[in-house]
Amino acid sequence: MNTVVAKPWAAVKRTVAYKEVIKALWKANPISKQILGICSALAVTVQMQTAVAMGLALTTVVAFSSLIVSLLRASIPRNIRIIVQVAVIATLVIIADELLKAFLYDVSKQLSVFVGLIVTNCIVLGRTEAYAMNNPPGRAFLDGLANGLGYTSVLVGVAFLRELFGSGRVLGYPVIPEAFYQAGYVNNGLLVLAPGAFIMIGLFVWLEHTLLERK
């Protein structure tokens, strides 16, 4: 017990839950490592505000659908499990969509159909199918939460770069001084357009892979 008191962090590090969370956030990040859920990752990253809202919506949906599927897992018949999972996910997505419309109407207009498309986002179905169906509710919820946050972290990172270099703003506030523009600095309009998203996420993944390999 002494070691636990002396180094609480080391004890935490040995738990299964900690390993799962780190795996989802970094080593097996759903976007950059497993290539899941790319569609929405590209579409909502023009501004940080929409990226954060989308990330939170997805995190909520994946965490709670994992929890619910895990609670139901004993009573779901094997051969219709996909339909049951999709029904759970779709219900949660509708709730998330209606909540966004009620409290963040402008953001919900900008996200347009992409919140609805969380239904077909492979991260959500991937986690419920691969993890929640075989694990207890508490851990399934944590796993969903961690995967959602892993997704959000990539989304916000890409959105930060696109907003900064594409329109010279961070979270909607101009950050590049006027003097730069007078000295001839120009915002890179390509980054705001669709092709910029592809190229930016390509470079982002390149950086991440290179950093991981060096360790």
- Closer residue to other proteins (CB): 3 or 210: 210
Is residue 45 within 8 Å of residue 158, measured between CB atoms? yes
Which of 11, 22, 25, 38 is close enough to bind other proteins by CB under 8 A? 38
Decide: is 152 part of the binding site for other proteins (CB under 8 A): no
- Closer residue to other proteins (CB): 13 or 101: 101
| Dist CA 9 CA 206 (whole Å) | 31
Is residue 117 within 8 Å of residue 54, measured between CB atoms? no
Q: Which two tokens stand for residue 132?
A: 């929640």
Is residue 83 within 8 Å of residue 107, measured between CB atoms? no
State which amino acid sits at residue 78: R
Which of 1, 6, 113, 186 is close enough to bind other proteins by CB under 8 A? 113
Decide: is 116 part of the binding site for other proteins (CB under 8 A): yes
Which of 117, 156, 164, 170 is close enough to bind other proteins by CB under 8 A? 117
- Closer residue to other proteins (CB): 20 or 97: 97
Q: How many residues does the chain have?
A: 215
Q: Count the Cβ atoms, other than its own, within 10 Å of residue 100.
A: 19
Decide: is 192 part of the binding site for other proteins (CB under 8 A): no
| Dist CA 40 CA 114 (whole Å) | 6
Quick note: the x/- pattern for other proteins over 51-90, rule CB under 8 A, is -----------------------------------xx--x
Which of 8, 27, 98, 106 is close enough to bind other proteins by CB under 8 A? 98
Which of 35, 80, 171, 175 is close enough to bind other proteins by CB under 8 A? 35
- Closer residue to other proteins (CB): 22 or 119: 119
The residues near 213 (Cβ < 8 Å, ≥ 6 apart) are: none
| Dist CA 60 CA 54 (whole Å) | 10
Q: List the one residue out of 215, 170, 161 whose CA is nearest residue 190.
A: 161
Number of residues that bind other proteins (CB under 8 A): 43
Which residues are at the interface with other proteins (CB under 8 A)?
32, 35-43, 86-87, 90-91, 93-94, 97-98, 112-113, 116-117, 119-122, 125, 193-199, 201-203, 205-207, 209-210, 213
